[in-house]
Amino acid sequence: MASVDTFAKDVAAELAAYSSEVAEAVKESVDEVSKEAAEEIKKHITFNQRTGKYIKAFRLKTSYESATEKRKTWYVASPHYRLTHLLEYGHASRNGGRVKAYPHIKYGEEYAEANLPKQIERKINDIG
């Protein structure tokens, strides 16, 4: 009977160690892909920037982190956050009509959605 009990404890310990390794791999992947997505957004800025303050206001922060999960948020810091929606989607002009949209954020979002699962899978395969 003792061998069955020790076997169960050993299996539980190995599973706990593996799950913590997987959680760390997922967190590392989130960090890497979020940085790469921010760079992807910067690459797609096609409008003329006189001062470059809009790009300098880009930030990444950890919005939530626990033992098993991590969330990063990309945002534009104050006071330039007001431009984000106007640039991404365009807006009405003073003289009637519309101002051209300069989509750039959607490219970072698409990059993260496409590459995060691949990155996580690659890291987990490296563990096991």
Mind listing the pLDDT tens digit for each residue in 62-74? 999 999 899 999 9
Instruction: Give me the residue spans of the domains in the chain.
Output: 2-127
Whole-angstrom distance, CA of residue 120 vs CA of residue 122: 5
Note the residue count of the chain.
128
Reported in sequence order, the residue ranges of the chain that DSSP labels E, i.e. its strands, are: 58-65, 70-76, 91-92, 98-99
Mind listing the pLDDT tens digit for each residue in 2-35? 688 799 899 999 998 999 999 999 999 999 999 9
User: The whole model's pTM is what?
Assistant: 0.84
Separation of CA 19 from chain center: 22
